[in-house]
Chains A and B, each alone.
Chain A
Amino acid sequence: MGRARASRALAAFRPLYATRLATFGSTVVLLFALMAVFGPALAPYGANQQVYTDARQPPSLERPFGTDHLGRDVFSRVLLGTRDIFVLAGLGTLVAVLVGTAVGLLTTYLGGATEEITFRVFDSVLAMPALLFALLLLGTFGPSRNNVLAVIAVAYVPIVARVVRSVVLNVKTKDYVAAARMQGESLSRILLREILPSVLPALAVEGALRFSYAIFLVASLGFLGAGVQPPNPDWGLMISEARNFVSITPWALYFPAAAISLLVIGVNLMAEGLATALGRTP
């Protein structure tokens, strides 16, 4: 019994390894996730531990990614920054997916004026580029980790809600939903048991895709100085700081940039693989 359950649980992850590219993407994401978890235990130096004698060291065996102009270990900072970006982008996406799903399910199923108004408002939010929207909000409320998280959620709720809506519009007219109404099922049960399972594949793909955009957004905000503030080891922030010394310590810029690219590409490939396996187009 326990074994059957375990194998069923494993089977849920099969779409992540459906194609070769998806396998690559999922593995990259898994490695970064491990870094996020074990980073503090593995990092040889603290994020802001400065060794002046070692400043501006190029990559070597002791300092795999070299050191920056202040003598901080770039490898340790990239490693420690992983958790930051995972938590911010991940939590932001999670909130966006949860809220977006709830709003999308409920308003679309009920239909009428509520749906109309909700989605017109969402449309107007979507009219603005996410980064601009985020800058606007952070400029108003001040840069802080909590605000970055909230901004990601607010920027992505409309997108998730629209994806959910497209599926619900199709499913809600199905006869099995009518059959559930004929059984006197409650609204929440119809939404959660009858409709939500059909939304999940689309949601998994969209969630993964949103996660990759959120990583990008967090990094961009850090780079522009509107997100995570120094001296935190944020990847975007690291690039922004290293930019001024690019001719002296180019490695301090390359490695966090590579980390962002690799993670975003990994998440994207994973999303694409999910989409293929679940028969959807991202």
Chain B
Amino acid sequence: MSAALRIEGLSVAYGTGVGARRVLRDVDLEIAAGETYGLVGESGSGKSTLALAVMRQLDGAARIEGGRIRLGDDDLLARTPDQMRSVWRTRLKLVPQDPIASLNPRVRVGEQIGEALDGARGRRDRVHDLLARVGLADPVRVARSYPHQLSGGMQQRVMIALALGGEPELLILDEPTTNLDVTTEATILDLVRDLVRERGTALLYVSHSLGVVAQLCDRVAVLYAGELVEDAGVEDLFATPLHPYTRALLDAVPSLDTGTGRAPLRPIVGAFPQPQALPSGCIFAPRCPVATDLTHEVRPPLERAGPTRRVRCHRWRDIADGTLDPRQPAEVRAGADEPAPGAGDVVLELVGIEKEFPIRRSLRDIVARRPARAVRAVDCVDLRLTRTRTLGLIGESGSGKSTLAKVVIGLVPASGGRMELLGVPLAHDIARRDHSVLRRLQMVFQSADEALNPTMTVREILRRPLQRLALSSRDGVRERLAALLESVRLRPEHADRRPGELSGGERQRVAIARAFAAEPDLLVFDESVSGLDVSVQASVLNVVRDLQVERGSAYLFISHDLAVVAALADDIAVMYLGALVETGPTQAVLAPPYHPYTEALISAVPVPDPRVRRDAIRLRGDPPSPSDPPSGCPFHTRCPRFLGDVCVEEAPPWLEGEDGNRIACHIPLDELVRLQGSVAGARPPVSVEARE
């Protein structure tokens, strides 16, 4: 069978001479016709560079040092940029990560797709046809829209429609779902899967997510610091990874099944090598638990390890026959396992918390005497957080999770309801809280880039909370600063660096250290590990977990990533359109009966195991606007288990489950169990069509 794409010995470098950063070195890979090929790696592995090199769209500073890229029988590197044009037009298409950056904001979507098509006749129909094929319900309306009028998921569908326009031989998708909600991601992946099945297009799918790759691809290649370290069929790769790095990546990913096992994740020790200072032997050697002298001295070749798999490791044979365990060492946990004193004490109680953001009325509204409207971001939320326990809060973007976090911290004062901290009423506005309250409540933000002042050193950033909130003396500050850095596994010399000189994981750990400086009773994590690579994420999660065991704080852990929440949380609360729809202990929430929304969320999580296929319960469309929430049950417009008028007219009752979970639904619990099966994962497929 002829290959759709064949890459031989591809090397790409930025700069020249001694300082050259050789970001891709000697990469070989081959994508068969009709094959879905996954390329995984962490940030800095060179995966996007590879995608751009194939497209011949590397930026000016990058240079292809050697190798060949053949699309079918065509040598792409031999083509001039002008000659690439025809290839781009029909044969090779890229769907980028950020659709809004790739769509012209001033041109209607239909026109942009039409431009890429040949021939004027029937162009409009063909555009509508393409839009319908990527699952957009109303192609005529979408074609007339400008990009900003569409949601992120719809924009990405438009990008795929744009790519399909030329009937390409090879479609490259570069992290197309990274910025999307899991529910949207799931529908996009379904679409990609269907398109491949139906048309036999070869696909190069670039991703950092092992789950997505496991669920979508036939073959997977693992890229580490610019080198291909392993390449195998998806089942082989996930069942018996041969390269220690692949093993480490798989171990670092939290999965739903990890549950609250609280087994520490295994982060990868050490740091990514710099492309200008690569180790002389195997590039993974400094972080490899089974490295030998040979590994450190001689770079291993990419060997055939079977009819269809290749691996770049000296010791793959030992790993393959099971005599060698390439796992990363499990991190020794700092604290003991017995519960800290005061476990179970209520730290924070929320009763009927509400937050409304008024919508500014236009002059016309005022003249017409239309009543002022408001966005209900948080709607009557009751929650209780207890010492040494973690409450995970999940939901799609726009569900009000982050607003709730800010309400708790007081950055956004609640518009209604009551909060009690350790039994004492808590002022809604942070400006009205005194020091003794402030020190008990801290927060770790989503993006450490914005959470740390770029003009200050780490020392300055950490010194203030120690002085102000922990009221340490001058000497005390010095000592505790050192201890703080150590507790988040940073070295003393990090104290004199500025945020710009730290890696993403290091920055997030500084942010965590700052929040812990005053030994708070309650810590809010708002998507605090979402932006990190899996191996880094694992180590940050372990730090977070160990600190809780040591200090006994209560955590409110907000994330859209169900697997991360499952790995960390004791209890889970599910939020939709500002309201809670299900709460309870983690095991109970992750097992039937589910709230239909929880069920859809779980079903959407891509499992990093190609043998596990979850029931496809998909949510159509986007969440309704919180300025005009649906009547009755807020979820009824998208609910896959919609009953009828009762859902539209009446607010659902809270049903008490056996395991301490509560579900807001009109469907009785035993009926939900019957519909959803009794054991997660081993359920019979349910064929419930999602409603438009």
Contact = CB atoms under 8 A, between A and B. Distances in A.
Do these two chains interact?
yes
A175 interface: yes
A179 B465 CA distance: 10
Interface stretch (A144-152, A182-190, A251-259): A182-190
Contact of B452 (A176, A181, A197): A176
B442 A182 contact: yes
A175 B451 contact: yes
Nearest to B448: A175
Nearest to A184: B438
A195 to B, nearest CB: 9
21 contacts: A174-B450, A175-B445, A175-B451, A176-B451, A178-B409, A178-B411, A178-B445, A179-B445, A179-B514, A180-B464, A182-B411, A182-B430, A182-B438, A182-B443, A183-B464, A183-B465, A183-B469, A184-B468, A184-B469, A194-B453, A198-B454
Interface string A11-46: 000000000000000000000000000000000000
Interface of B: 409, 411, 430-431, 433-435, 438, 441-443, 445-447, 450-456, 464-465, 468-469, 511, 514
B175 to A, nearest CB: 24
A8 to B, nearest CB: 13
A4 to B, nearest CB: 13
A198 B455 CA distance: 7
B468 A175 contact: no
Contacts of A183: 438, 464-465, 468-469
Given A174-B450, A176-B450, A182 B409 contact: yes
Given A174-B450, A179-B514, A194-B453, A185 B468 contact: yes
B469 A175 contact: no
Contacts of B409: 178, 182
Interface in A53-88: none
A181 B464 contact: no
Given A182-B443, A183-B469, A184-B469, A197 B455 contact: yes
Among A180, A182, A183, A184: residue with most chain B CB under 10 A? A182
Given A174-B450, A175-B445, A178-B445, A185 B455 contact: no
Contacts of B511: 179
Q: Which of A178, A179, A185 has the most CB of B within 10 A?
A: A179
A204 B232 CA distance: 57
Contacts of B441: 182
Contact of A175 (B433, B434, B450): B450
**Majority SS of interface residues in chain A?**
helix
Contacts of A175: 445-447, 450-451
A194 B464 CA distance: 12
A178 B406 CA distance: 10
Given A178-B409, A179-B451, 19 more contacts: A174-B451, A175-B445, A175-B446, A176-B450, A176-B453, A178-B443, A179-B443, A179-B445, A179-B514, A180-B464, A181-B431, A182-B409, A182-B438, A182-B441, A183-B464, A183-B465, A183-B468, A183-B469, A184-B468
Contacts of B453: 176, 194, 197
A122 to B, nearest CB: 23
Interface in A94-125: none
Interface string A178-217: 1111111100000000100110000000000000000000
A174 B443 CA distance: 14
B667 to A, nearest CB: 40
Can you list the 5 inter-chain pairs with the closest CB atoms, starting with the nearest?
A197-B455, A175-B451, A175-B445, A176-B453, A175-B450
Contacts of B445: 175, 178-179
Contacts of B446: 175
Nearest to B467: A183
Nearest to B434: A184
Contacts of A194: 453
Contacts of B452: 176
B148 to A, nearest CB: 21
Given A175-B447, A176-B451, A176-B452, A181 B465 contact: no
Nearest to A176: B453
B463 to A, nearest CB: 11
A103 B247 CA distance: 58
Nearest to A195: B453
Contacts of A174: 450-451
A100 B287 CA distance: 54
Contacts of B456: 197
Contacts of A198: 454-455
Nearest to A178: B411
Contacts of A182: 409, 411, 430, 438, 441-443
A104 B69 CA distance: 56
B322 to A, nearest CB: 48
Nearest to B524: A182
Contacts of B454: 198
Nearest to B468: A183
A175 B453 CA distance: 9
A106 to B, nearest CB: 16
A179 B409 CA distance: 10
Contacts of B514: 179
A178 B431 CA distance: 11
A57 to B, nearest CB: 57
A176 B443 CA distance: 11
A252 to B, nearest CB: 50
A197 B460 CA distance: 14
A196 B456 CA distance: 12
B677 to A, nearest CB: 42
Contacts of A184: 433-435, 438, 468-469
A187 to B, nearest CB: 10
Q: Most chain-A Cβ atoms within 10 A of its Cβ — which of B433, B442, B451, B469?
A: B451
B411 A181 contact: yes
B476 to A, nearest CB: 17
Most chain B beta carbons < 10 A, residue from A174, A178, A180, A184: A184
B451 A181 contact: no
A181 B430 contact: yes
A190 to B, nearest CB: 11
A41 B603 CA distance: 86
B442 to A, nearest CB: 6
A80 B460 CA distance: 47
Interface in A256-271: none
Contacts of A179: 443, 445, 451, 511, 514
B464 A185 contact: yes
Contacts of A185: 464, 468
Contacts of A180: 464
A12 to B, nearest CB: 14
A70 B435 CA distance: 73
Nearest to B454: A198
Contacts of B447: 175
A182 B435 CA distance: 9
A111 B144 CA distance: 38
Q: Considering residues A176, A178, A185, which has the most beta carbons from chain B within 10 angstroms of its beta carbon?
A: A176
Contacts of A178: 409, 411, 443, 445
B295 to A, nearest CB: 42
Nearest to A173: B450
A163 B430 CA distance: 29
A197 B435 CA distance: 26
A179 B451 CA distance: 7
A180 B431 CA distance: 12
B553 to A, nearest CB: 15
B465 to A, nearest CB: 5
A185 B452 CA distance: 15
A87 B519 CA distance: 53
Contacts of A197: 453, 455-456
A179 B453 CA distance: 10
A185 B431 CA distance: 10
Nearest to A196: B455
A175 B411 CA distance: 10
B101 to A, nearest CB: 20
A234 B455 CA distance: 42
Nearest to B437: A184
